[in-house]
Amino acid sequence: MADKPVTGAGLRGQSAGTTALCTVGKTGSGLTYRGFDIKELAEKAKFEEVAYLLLKGKLPNQSELDHYIRKLKSLRGLPEALKTVLEQIPKDAHPMDVMRTGTSMLGNLETEESFDEQQDVADRLLAVLPSIICYWYRFSHDGVRIDTQTDDNSVGGHFLNMLRGEPASELHARVMNVSLILYAEHEFNASTFTARVCASTLSDMHSCVTGAIGSLRGPLHGGANEAAMAMIEDWQSPEEAESKIMGMLERKDKIMGFGHAIYRESDPRNEIIKHWSKKLADDVGDTVLYPVSEKVEEVMWREKKLFCNADFFHASAYYFMDIPTKLFTPIFVMSRLTGWAAHVFEQRANNRIIRPSADYIGPEKSEWVPIEARD
């Protein structure tokens, strides 16, 4: 992508604070969490280890990790009042709205009374968000009230088990683990910045996370994985994909799953999720969606020098695992909760209310006109 002059629009290129959590695009394309390269984490870590790293500040040793997994497993249950609320939400609601309402309702039932409770509140949310979305989804779509306390050790395996009513295969659990690691943290992205702005007023964790979910929902941010799927799902061949993309580019449409506010050359998460999407394509014997996705990637680079961001190959990967498209962005929430909460901790530890200024472009002086005399 050609370099663009940095202007004030979208606060692009302006530092809005400090963080010890993450670097994005520091050497042109890299991503690190507390200094650890994303490629190494995606290959070697459990998502729960990455959550611990982000939330507690260091990698856990074996007994700390075992204890943490046991803790998360014990926190998966839903209060009855929250189940009642989830049962009222219609089947055609957007699952991101369900996540938002579920988090907000939990804030009424299990209010964070003091910042001393922040670690426990974050752990509870990490454990319970998959339960919220799956309980609502299975109740509204299948008419069943699921037990959200499965015996799966991993967050990803637990999610798939609740969704399907049976434990996930090793491959699917592995891909979910990688996906949750890739989505966990990304510096001052829009949803995290929302959480930090909310935290800067000394608000509670549930409010910060509820606001962040609202920001993540949009198609220019987390909603892009669903939007990318909606775009490619009906294309039957790479040739059709090429001609459709060329038409979209001619009309100056945004192509979802491409481009990035910070990365200029590539998004390091793409190569990783693309690898797993290919493995899943081979697993299900796909001959259409993966070649279509690869063609879109090739055409976008050839025509616009735009590269896939984290979202594009997530679409096909989730599709191959038979995950309904509208649950794609809620999975992002289940993971990014770790980054959001860790940023809230950081903001609280060194806080000043976030309140920028605006350049006024309205009228200099307006004359008051009585209501009867107005047009």
Ligand X SMILES: O=C([O-])CC(=O)C(=O)O
Which of 91, 252 has the CB closer to ligand ACO?
252
221 an active-site residue?
A: yes
Q: Which of 172, 206, 260, 314 is catalytic?
A: 260
Q: Which range in 101-109, 237-245, 251-259, 363-371 contacts ligand ACO by CB under 6 A?
A: 251-259
Cα angle at 47 between 280 and 77, to 5 degrees?
A: 105
260 counts as binding ligand ACO under rule CB under 6 A:
yes
Shortest separation between residue 339's beta carbon and ligand ACO, angstroms: 11
DSSP assignment of 212-250: HHHHHTSTTTTTHHHHHHHHHTT--SHHHHHHHHHHHHH
Shortest separation between residue 300's beta carbon and ligand X, angstroms: 17
Among 227, 272, 310, 315, binds ligand X (CB under 6 A): 310
Angle (deg, nearest 10), helices 224-232 and 289-304: 110
157 touches which of ligand ACO, ligand X, none (CB within 5 to 8 A by kind)? none
CA atoms in the 13 A half-sphere facing the CB of 347: 28
69 counts as binding ligand ACO under rule CB under 6 A:
no
Q: Which range in 290-298, 304-312, 341-349, 353-361 contacts ligand ACO by CB under 6 A?
A: 304-312
* β-strand pairing of 22-24 with 36-37: unpaired
Among 95, 107, 257, 330, binds ligand ACO (CB under 6 A): 257
Q: Which of 286, 311, 314, 343 is catalytic?
A: 311
196 counts as binding ligand X under rule CB under 6 A:
no
DSSP assignment of 8-64: SGGGTT------SSEEESTTSS-EEETTEEHHHHHHH--HHHHHHHHHHSS---HHH
* Per-residue x/- track, 253-282, ligand X (CB under 6 A): --------xx--------------------
Strand-pair partners of 36: 33
| Separation between Cα atoms, residue 315 and residue 225, nearest integer Å | 5
186 counts as binding ligand X under rule CB under 6 A:
yes
**Contacts of 7 by beta carbon, 8 Å cutoff, 6+ apart:** none
Q: Which of 82, 151, 160 is nearest to 331 (CA)?
A: 160
Q: Which range in 49-57, 75-83, 133-141, 219-227 contacts ligand ACO by CB under 6 A?
A: 219-227
329 counts as binding ligand X under rule CB under 6 A:
no
Q: Which of 327, 328, 312 is nearest to 228 (CA)?
A: 312
Residue 88, number of CB atoms within 10 A of its CB: 10
306 counts as binding ligand ACO under rule CB under 6 A:
yes
Strand-pair partners of 23: 32
189 counts as binding ligand X under rule CB under 6 A:
yes
Among 132, 168, 175, 224, binds ligand ACO (CB under 6 A): 224
* Per-residue x/- track, 103-142, ligand X (CB under 6 A): ----------------------------------------
Q: Which of 94, 120, 221, 283 is catalytic?
A: 221
Residues 1-60 that bind ligand X (CB under 6 A): 24
Which of 121, 296 has the CB closer to ligand ACO?
296
* Per-residue x/- track, 8-37, ligand ACO (CB under 6 A): --x---------------------------
Angle (deg, nearest 10), helices 47-56 and 155-164: 130
Residue 188, number of CB atoms within 10 A of its CB: 19
Chain residues in the site for ligand ACO (CB under 6 A): 1, 4, 10, 220-222, 224, 254-261, 306, 309-311
Which positions are catalytic? 221, 260, 311
